[in-house]
Amino acid sequence: MKLFLFIQSAQGAGLMAYFPFILILAIMYFLMIRPQAKRQKEKQEMIQAIKKGDKIVTIGGIHGTVAGFKGKDGKAILLQVDSNTKITINRASISSLANKDDASQNEIIQENS
């Protein structure tokens, strides 16, 4: 009987030894992994909601306006960079939507040139 109680108490102490590691993993999940997954989901929704006329910035830093879509699934976007220049990019290469403040700054720079 005493041997059984000794074994049972030793197992309980063994589980408590893993508690700090479990706590660290839980903290890492809530502070690092979950927010990153949330940002990734928001970006995916933003990319899917892009429509003609939106001002965007690509991963490479190219600013432009969406002029249209190519292909039946719409994965390729026709991006108007200048009045006479249109390029085709992949939806995955979109970094973000351009703010209206960015557009006004671009117009001011072009007027000063």
Question: pLDDT tens digits, residue range 2-53?
Answer: 545 455 555 556 777 888 899 999 999 989 999 999 999 999 999 999 999 9
CA gap 86, 11 in Å, rounded: 68
CA gap 16, 13 in Å, rounded: 5
In the chain, what percentage of residues exceed pLDDT 90? 52
pLDDT of residue 17: 82
pLDDT of residue 63: 93
What integer best gives the mean pLDDT of the chain?
82
Question: What is the pTM (predicted TM-score) of this model?
Answer: 0.62
